Amino acid sequence: MSVLAPAESPPAATLAWWRTVLFGMQHVLVMYTGCVAVPLVFGAALGLDRSIIAALVNADLLVAGVITVVQAAGVGKLLGARMPVVAGASFTAVTPMILIGQEYGLSAVYGSMIAAGIFGVLVAVPFSRLQRFFPPVVRGAAIAMIGLSLIGKAVTMTFGEEPAGGARLLVAAGVILLILALMRYGRGLLAQSAVLVALVLGTAAAAALSLTDFSAVGAAGWLGLPDLFPFGAPTFPIAGIVSLCLVMLVIFTESTAYLLATAEHTGQRATPAVIGRGLAADGLSAMLAGVLTSFPDTIFAQNVSLVRMTGVAARGAVVVAGGLLVVLGLVPKMGEVVASLPGPVIGAVSLVMFATVAGVGIATLATVDYARTDNLLIVSLAMGAGMIPIVAPELYDGLPTSLKVIVGGAITSTVLVAFTLNLVFHHLTRTPEELPA
Tell me the per-residue pLDDT of 165-207, one tens digit each, with 9 for 90 and over.
678 888 888 888 988 888 888 776 677 667 778 878 888 888 8
pLDDT band at 7 (very low <50, low <70, confident <90, very high): very low
Residue 343 in contact with residue 153, Cβ under 8 Å? no
pLDDT of residue 219: 63
Q: 260 versus 85: which is more confidently predicted?
A: 85
Mean pLDDT calculated for residue range 44-58: 84
- Report the C-alpha gap between 22 and 315 in whole angstroms: 13
The sign of the dihedral angle between the CA atoms of 39, 40, 42, 48 is positive
**Mean per-residue pLDDT over the chain, rounded:** 80
pLDDT of residue 280: 93
Residue 44 in contact with residue 238, Cβ under 8 Å? no
- Report the C-alpha gap between 90 and 11 in whole angstroms: 28
pLDDT of residue 272: 83
Mean pLDDT calculated for residue range 354-362: 80
| Pick from 381, 375, 383: nearest CA to 410 | 383
| Pick from 256, 268, 270, 267: nearest CA to 299 | 256
Q: At what angle do helices 94-104 and 106-128 cross, to 10 degrees?
A: 140
pLDDT at 10 over 70: no
pLDDT of residue 6: 38
- Report the C-alpha gap between 334 and 418 in whole angstroms: 40
- Report the C-alpha gap between 154 and 350 in whole angstroms: 6
Helices (H) and strands (E) in the chain, counts: 17, 2
Helix (H, G, I), strand (E, B) or coil at 75: strand
pLDDT of residue 235: 92
pLDDT band at 67 (very low <50, low <70, confident <90, very high): very high
Q: Tell me which amino acid residue 9 is.
A: S
pLDDT of residue 216: 63
pLDDT band at 161 (very low <50, low <70, confident <90, very high): low
Residue 171 in contact with residue 206, Cβ under 8 Å? yes
The residues facing 79 across adjacent strands are 75
pTM more than 0.75: no
| Pick from 91, 93, 138, 133: nearest CA to 383 | 138
